[in-house]
Chain A
Amino acid sequence: MSQFDQDTSPEALRVAVLSWLDTHWDGENRRPLTEPAYDRRHWRQQVLAAGLAVPSWPPEWFGLGMTSAQCKVIEKAFAERNAPGTGLDRYHLGAITVFKAGSDALKREMLPELLTGPICCLLYSEPNAGSDLAGIRTRAEQDGDQYVINGQKVWTSNAREADYGMLLARTDWDAPKHRGITFFLFPMRQAGVEIRPINQITGESEFNEIFIENARVPERFIIGNLNEGWGSFQTAIAYERLIMGQGITGRRRNSPTRSRPPLLELAEKTHKLSDPVVRQRLAQALAYREVNSLNNERAMTEMMTKGSMSLMSLSKLAMSRIQHGEAAIATDLLGPEALLDGPDNSDAANTNFDAAKAYMNSIGGGTDQIQRNIIAEKVLGLPKEHEPDKGIAFREVKSGTGPRTAG
């Protein structure tokens, strides 16, 4: 039984977590007390064993059955001691999806593994299936208790670091497009998986092209049921959008967290903080951010009390307006300096980076246009547009730049 009691007060919980950390973690040197250096897997195993990796999950599934308020207390305590490893129930897309959509057997086998080390990438998009994701044509064919995968994926972030990929592949070509897809937990490190980095407009190359040729995945690694992958995938994509709507994709990774909004500092530095037009724009930008977190708070409550995701669906769209808007203001604050770049011109470089990076939010995880379609249809209940491919066997559907070659 766990030492962290669900019925405890927030303060008592904080004390219990801190005291657990104090017997396990050396915050100053950022390593477990018992070990000479930080080893991600070893440390995560300890956190997981204590239930602190995924505190909101039930005790029978590696968690502590904590409320989201209690999880916040735990996350704060970890932050206080400079310790990593909690909150995977909020951020680890792969583990969350397996937990929510996987069979008990898969959960038992793979969650301890997923929660202690491996990185998961998202093998969804293909050259001819972006917004129209259900049009994927990567194929999975059964061979004994395995599936053989062939096809091409693209824009796969962090594929080179990943041990597993959450793979959407077609298993039935005669069913309509949403109904012939299966969702797999796909082992990335095997022959038949070729990864080619793509250079991004930010100067980074996080995402990749993936060529899959006769690679294999065990049947028991199907997340959910055969041909019902579209449903399981909804869980994964909902969490991804939720995470994006909290705005963690925004800034350059190593920018310091300051108490004063960066835009205010930039306005001061560029001597424009007293310009009334600039002040109006700054106020509006800060307001969009504050209102988005207020919306998110309401969304959390709504989700907990009514199980409704309707408010949640807004935050990713709102985040696009925030990120693009802030980058536009920063560009104007810098004036001609914004044409510069490189380490000698860090304000310009940061601003140009932010301006480019904002597209990650407005394109990745479903474009703003697709988000608006979803809000209008799923939340507001507006009728769908004419869908020429509805109900048609997938092998008959046109895609990309012409008719699809049949599977």
Chain B
Amino acid sequence: MADMGLLGIVISETCGGIGGSDIDAAVVAEELGRSLLPVPFIETCVMVPSLLESGDITEETQDILSAIVRGTATIAIGGNTALAPYRDPNSTLKLNSDGSVSGEVSLVMHGAHADFLLLTFGSDAQTRCVLVSSDSGYDVDKQTANDPALRPATIKLNNTPCTALTGLRKDDLERARLRGVAALSALQAGAARAIFEITIDYLKTRYQFGRPIGSFQALKHIAADLFLEVESATSAAHAAANALASADPLAAKSVALAGFICNDAFRDVSAQAIQLHGGIAYTREHVAHLYWRRARATLSMLGDSDTHRETYLGAWETAA
């Protein structure tokens, strides 16, 4: 991906990236979703660059951005704020008076292997973001995930040196979160479409009662309804990316919409995919369960559907 420049898709050209928009990020995320590649693209290539480029630019942040572009820096995000992909409410992270960081945080996706951790903690009113290099010494306990491709970890820090990100306004944090949700939505839309296509192919080729099972109306009607979910997810994800790329003042509303439409579509399409396949999809050899597991794993990433729905309705109330 680094060779194709895809890792620097939203990073500005001055930092070695392509300088693309959220629409470009969505295209990449959709493909990653299709292939279920377990990489921290959203964190490393969308959210962290968004934060680094909107805060104070230092030599260190420049270096990290170039390393992201080259593919030599992967970054995991953990913490207890809305910026954490998987919010750990029990996180005990705190900043020490000497500027180092201590405490424990779980649910840090890719935390065991990342070159940097971006830790985010404090309150939503006063969110702290610090960068920790994997060289600086902390303990890692791997956690077991239901999706075998995902590797969350508990990180234990004890007076670990870190770099606090400075110059970040509240809006910058919110924008990084929105961009993360938009990219995640695209990823889910791509994944939902992939498992949907796999399922439709199966309906055409599996025979029972002397005919393809796809000729049974009970299955056809489920397929038609799922198709609506798949297309709606794509539309919502594209609209969110467009809204961010064009700095639409209602972008947060579009992103919230995509947040729950894509969450729910991926969940429902991947769940029905197993049912429509029958026994074969109950085996680990078949791919259906991988989509299903990934869907379940992304349901709570960067906010669950109910939270997005509440945000969306709130935006309607203030807009009208």
**Cα distance, A294 to B239, chains bound together (Å):** 7
Establish whether residues B214 and A383, one from each chain, have CB atoms under 8 Å apart when the complex forms. yes
Q: Which candidate, B69-77, B123-131, B310-318, is the interface stretch facing chain A?
A: B310-318
B227 engages A379 (CB within 8 Å): yes
Residues of chain A contacted by B225 (CB below 8 angstroms):
372
Q: Are B228 and A314 in contact (CB under 8 A)?
A: yes
User: A294 vs B200: C-alpha distance in the bound complex, in angstroms?
Assistant: 24
| Contact indicator per residue, chain A 111-138, by CB within 8 Å of chain B (1) or not (0) | 0000000000000000000000000000
The answer to whether A383 and B306 touch (CB under 8 A), given A287-B261, A375-B227, is no
Contact A287 B224 (CB under 8 A): no
Residues 183-221 of chain B, each 1 if its beta carbon lies under 8 Å from chain A, else 0: 000000000000000001001100000011011110111
Contact, CB under 8 Å: A295 / B312: no
* B48-56, B90-98, B230-238 - the one binding chain A: B230-238
Residue of A nearest to B233 (CB): A291
**If A264-B320, A376-B223, A385-B215 touch, does A295 touch B313 (CB 8 Å cutoff)?**
no
Are B224 and A371 closer than 8 Å at their CB atoms? yes
* B309 (CB) vs chain A CBs: closest residue: A283
**B260 in the interface, Cβ–Cβ < 8 Å?**
yes
Would A259 and B220 count as touching, CB distance under 8 A? no
Residue B273 at the A interface, CB < 8 A?
no
In the assembled complex, B9 has its CB within 8 A of some CB on chain A: no
Q: How far is the CA of A319 from the CA of B301 in the complex (A)?
A: 30
Whether the Cβ atoms of A280 and B309 lie closer than 8 Å is yes
Give the size of the chain B interface in residues (CB under 8 angstroms).
Answer: 35
**Would you call B257 an interface residue if the criterion is a C-beta within 8 Å of the partner chain's C-beta atoms?**
yes
Q: Take A284-B309, A377-B220 as given contacts and tell me if A291 and B215 are in contact as well, using a CB distance cutoff of 8 Å.
A: no
Tell me whether B260 and A287 are in contact (CB under 8 A): yes
> Nearest A residue to B225 by beta-carbon distance?
A372
A380 vs B151: C-alpha distance in the bound complex, in angstroms? 36
Question: Is the Cβ of A383 less than 8 Å from the Cβ of B224?
Answer: no
Give chain B's interface secondary structure class: helix
Q: Determine if A342 is an interface residue (Cβ-Cβ < 8 Å).
A: no
B contact residues around A373 at 8 Å (CB) = 217, 220-221, 224
Residue of A nearest to B214 (CB): A382
Min CB distance, B230 to chain A, in Å?
Answer: 10
A340 to B119, CA, bound (A): 57
Given contact pairs A280-B310, A291-B261, A372-B220, A317 touches B228 in the complex (Cβ within 8 A): yes
Knowing A279-B309, A373-B217 touch, does A317 contact B224 (C-beta < 8 A)? yes
Q: B220 touching A382 by the CB < 8 A rule?
A: yes
- Which residue on B lies nearest to A298, using beta carbons? B235
Q: How far is the CB of A293 from chain B (nearest CB, A)?
A: 9
Contact A283 B312 (CB under 8 A): yes
Contact B313 A382 (CB under 8 A): no
A-chain residues with CB within 8 Å of residue B214 when the two chains form the complex: 376, 382-383
Q: Is A318 an interface residue (CB 8 A)?
A: yes
Q: Does A402 contact B (CB under 8 A)?
A: no
The residues of B that contact A36 with a CB separation of less than 8 Å are: none
Q: Does A334 contact B (CB under 8 A)?
A: no
Interface residues in A246-288 by Cβ distance below 8 A to B read 259-261, 264, 273, 276, 279-280, 282-284, 286-287
Task: Please tell me if A306 contacts chain B, counting CB pairs below 8 Å.
Answer: no
On whether A385 and B309 interact (CB within 8 A), knowing A261-B320, A291-B261, the answer reads no
Task: Indicate whether A259 sits within 8 Å of B320 (C-beta atoms), given known contacts A280-B306, A373-B217, A385-B215.
Answer: yes
Interfacial chain A residues near B203, Cβ < 8 Å? 382
CA distance A250 to B154 in the complex (A): 53
Residue on A with the closest CB to B228?
Answer: A314
B-chain residues with CB within 8 Å of residue A284 when the two chains form the complex: 309
The CA of A95 and the CA of B314, in the complex, are separated in Å by: 44
Determine if A369 is an interface residue (Cβ-Cβ < 8 Å). yes
Q: Given A284-B309, A291-B261, A385-B215, are A380 and B231 neighbors across the interface (CB < 8 Å)?
A: no
Kindly state whether residue A290 has any CB partner on chain B within 8 Å.
Answer: yes
A257 to B34, CA, bound (A): 41
Establish whether residues B204 and A382, one from each chain, have CB atoms under 8 Å apart when the complex forms: yes
List chain A residues, Cβ under 8 A from B220: 372-373, 376-377, 382
- Given A280-B310, A286-B316, A382-B203, does the pair A372, B236 have CB atoms closer than 8 Å? no
Task: Determine if B215 and A382 form an interchain contact, defined as CB atoms under 8 angstroms apart.
Answer: yes
Does A356 belong to the interface (CB within 8 Å)?
no
Residue from A286, A292, A376, A385 in contact with B313 in the complex, judged by beta carbons closer than 8 Å? A286
- Please give the residue numbers on chain B whose beta carbons come within 8 Å of chain A beta carbons, in ascending order: 200, 203-204, 211-212, 214-217, 219-221, 223-225, 227-228, 231-232, 234-236, 238-239, 257, 260-261, 306, 309-310, 312-313, 316-317, 320
Given contacts A311-B231, A380-B223, 20 further A-B pairs with CB under 8 A are A259-B320, A260-B320, A264-B316, A279-B310, A280-B306, A280-B310, A283-B310, A291-B236, A291-B261, A295-B232, A298-B238, A317-B224, A372-B225, A375-B227, A380-B227, A381-B204, A383-B204, A383-B211, A383-B215, A386-B211
Q: Which 6 A-B pairs have the closest CB atoms?
A: A376-B220, A283-B309, A260-B320, A294-B235, A382-B214, A372-B224
